[in-house]
Amino acid sequence: MMEDLPEFLSRIRPSPAMLHRLGMLMQFAALVFLPMLSFWQIEFGIPLIVMPACLTIAAIVFFIGTRLRESK
């Protein structure tokens, strides 16, 4: 069974429409998460190091979403 797994995974190809939707969802999540994080920081306070870390993660998620949307 395990010998068939690499062959099976090589045959699976996501459709361009699915990649486009996934990329759009990732971009939407990044754009919604950042204002929510800012609000959370103002209202409740979080450690300062969390803000740049979350911004970096959101930028990476947004970039991956953009690449997925542009892929064919």
Q: Tokens standing for 2?
A: 């395990």
pLDDT beyond 70 at 16: yes
Looking at residue 14, the DSSP 8-state letter turns out to be -
Average pLDDT over residues 2-24: 79
- Cα→Cα distances 37→7, 29, 33, 42, 61, Å: 42, 12, 6, 9, 15
Predicted pLDDT at 50:
87
Predicted pLDDT at 9:
65
Confidence class of residue 59 from pLDDT cuts 50, 70 and 90? very high
pLDDT beyond 70 at 12: yes
Q: Are 35 and 4 in contact, with CB atoms under 8 Å apart? A: no
